[in-house]
Amino acid sequence: MAEQLEPVLVVIPTYNERDNIERIVSRLRAALPNAHALIVDDGSPDGTGEIADRLASEDERIHVMHRTEKNGLGAAYVAGFTWGLDRDYAVLVEMDADGSHAPEDLPKMLDALRDADLAIGSRYVPGGKIVNWPKSRYLLSWGANTYARVALGARVKDMTAGFRAYRREALQKIRIDNVASRGYCFQIDLGWRTIEAGFTVVEVPITFTEREHGVSKMSSDVVREALIRVTKWGLRRRGNQVRALFRR
């Protein structure tokens, strides 16, 4: 597999993250000094965008994309990935702004990417763990991942993980321009597309820490979207398997 792993772009979507964004960018700078960051702000009313602009003015490796409305996590990542692909970044990373994803885990994720096309920072492989989650949130996440794995026949244990590093070739082939998933279902969508396209996926154990500042973006609508879409994808997969049997 090609060893081109630079330059790296870390895409960080934000909405009302003024208490977190400067801290997470500082940690990223320390963990990966040569990486670039793209902050994709969805018109945060709390001034997150202004803080991001100041950070960008102080460091040429930091970039900011201002979007006029909050249109979902998936749309923010698609916009950020498209920006990065247009500028020839070799690796594109998803990372939350709230501190749940430790930038200090990025070097080992990029190292794993040497033999893969997608490296997932996983909570559910040996060595991975979750800190400060209530039991209800853990059960929701565990249940969602179990359902996605069974419905799609995927071997990935953390399909909903939002801490990921993609090679540009994978994102180019799976056609992110027609991804419709808006919420956290976006992670399952892109992961499943990557697997179906025949790319190599590895899981790297990380420590996921619940945010200390701000409010989680999880909602019943997000859960509903994931359930409906994964069910449709699973039924389509089963249908394709049945049709393949009849063609034999």
The 10s digit of each residue's pLDDT in 128-181 is: 999 999 998 899 888 889 988 888 888 999 999 999 999 999 999 998 888 877
CATH number at residue 163: 3.90.550.10
* 185-196 pLDDT per residue, tens: 889 999 999 999
User: Does any domain span residue 3?
Assistant: no
User: Does any domain span residue 62?
Assistant: yes
In angstroms, the CA 242 to CA 68 distance is 45
What pLDDT is attached to residue 31?
97
Residues of the chain scoring pLDDT < 70? 1-3, 182-183, 212-220, 222, 226, 233, 237-238, 240-248
Indicate the pTM of the whole model. Answer: 0.88
What pLDDT is attached to residue 219?
55
Number of domains in the chain: 1
With tokens 């154990």, the residue in question is 205
- Nearest-CA neighbor of 73 among 14, 160, 141, 143? 14
The sign of the dihedral angle between the CA atoms of 130, 141, 159, 52 is negative
What pLDDT is attached to residue 220?
65
What pLDDT is attached to residue 3?
61
Length of the chain: 248
- Nearest-CA neighbor of 231 among 177, 192, 179? 192
User: Does any domain span residue 1?
Assistant: no
User: Does any domain span residue 144?
Assistant: yes
| Residue ranges making up the domain that contains 151 | 8-243
